[in-house]
Amino acid sequence: MTDATGKPKDPEAIRKAVLADPNTAEIAKALGVPLEEYVAGVVVYAMNPEAKPEYLGVTDQVMKERFGLTPMTEQEIIAKFDREVAIATIATKTDFTAHEKELVDLSADQPAPDAPEDAKLKEELRKKLLGEKSDK
């Protein structure tokens, strides 16, 4: 194995560097893993960056006792999923909003309301249609 500079990776050098980090012991303690076991895992992944971590399934009780996490209910998971989808798709929304009023049925046989008749306007329109000049 070689590092980014092309030099061979030394597992012992990686181990010493990880142990020298003051956060290493705290991380191992928070994970509930013995320090040496945690360091060995870090060395494995440092030596094999293409390696995939193993999936570890735990019960709700272990999550709560070991990690202080409260498991989500089915309703909480669905609500969180819906919120995340809304946030992820907000860029695809437009300013157009659907109608909020009840639609009017135009197919019904309803007579148009009678408008008051304007005799003068009616005469002017008749003259324009027939090509006669109005009296102005």
Q: Per residue in 44-95, pLDDT tens?
A: 989 988 888 887 788 888 888 887 888 888 999 999 999 999 888 887 766 6
Q: What pTM does this model have?
A: 0.40
Task: Kindly list the domain boundaries of the chain, sorted by start residue.
Answer: 1-56, 57-88
Residues linked to residue 8 through DSSP beta bridges, in sequence order: 2
Binning the chain into helix, strand and coil, the percentages to the nearest 5 are: 50, 0, 45
pLDDT per residue over 13-57, tens digit each?
A: 999 999 999 999 999 998 888 999 999 999 998 998 888 888 778
CB crowding 95-132: b at 16 or more within 10 Å, else e: eeeeeeeeeeeeeeeeeeeeeeeeeeeeeeeeeeeeee
